Amino acid sequence: MIKRILVIGLVLAAGAGVGAIAAWQQATHLPGWYTQTEGTATDPDIAILTAEQLQQPEEVQQIRLNFNRTVENAFNQGESASNQPPQVRLNAQEFNQLLVAALPESAASEEVYSAIKGIETQIKQDRLKSGAVVNMGELPLEQLPERYQQMAKGVFSTFPALKNREVYVGIEGQPRLENGRLVLDDQTRIKVGNISLSQQEVSRRLGLSPAELNRLLTLNVGNLQVQDLEFSGNTAILKGTTP
């Protein structure tokens, strides 16, 4: 899911540059949690994964293992305790771990993690705000599906200034899962820099239907069969089963 959102952000950032310099500046605006080094870790409902953490293969692997173990244990206990679908509550830090664990093994390379310069997640008042700063020039295109490779190469050809640019791409709102697939409602926004776009606007700019856009945003966590995701207070509630 992360990698696909980054490619979507790349195309949208370039699209913003077509209109005006002001729009381009908005699209390439970086968030304060990334540009400022002080006061970023004082709120327990806000969690940040730094580039230093993401660029250490052993730490990334440990994040994946710890998260999968935590969720598997919770799901197994839930299955034993009742007939209801098991669930686990995730705080902001654990949701960041979910994003790392959800990256498929085939794409979980050092090159991909090196391109991601930081991930920040906030969960407050039943809402999610999560995003990453990525260096688009470091994103390994050869690891993308052919369609996305061509899309990204076309953007770099038209807007070469993006090739070594850091861009923030995120999601805000109350996205949900249906059959393991992330679904964006009318209130959920995709952020590119300081630009906020609705699902309809993203679909139009990418030339995709809302259904096609949702199909791009799948969520798989190891061997876990994730069925549902919702936000309550300052936690994300993940529901599903293990094989």
Does pLDDT of 155 surpass 80? no
- What pLDDT does 18 receive? 46
Taking only the tens place, the pLDDT of each residue in 194-209 is: 888 887 877 776 676 7
Give the ranges where 120-221 is alpha helix by DSSP (H): 146-158, 199-206, 210-216
Among candidate residues 58, 64, 51, 59, the one with its CA nearest the CA of residue 104: 64
pTM for this entry: 0.80
Alpha carbon separation from 140 to 10, 27, 52, 115, 231 (Å, rounded):
13, 21, 19, 8, 32
Alpha carbon separation from 147 to 116, 141, 151 (Å, rounded):
21, 11, 6
Q: How many residues does the chain have?
A: 243
Q: Average the pLDDT over each of 13-27, 39-53, 72-86, 118-132 and give the range with the smallest value.
A: 13-27
Tokens of 157: 């050809």
Tokens of 162: 């993006």
Three-state DSSP class for residue 74:
helix
Q: Provide the pLDDT confidence category of residue 30 given band limits of 50, 70 and 90.
A: very high
Q: Provide the pLDDT confidence category of residue 148 given band limits of 50, 70 and 90.
A: low
Q: Which of 34-38, 162-166, 172-176 has the highest mean pLDDT?
A: 172-176
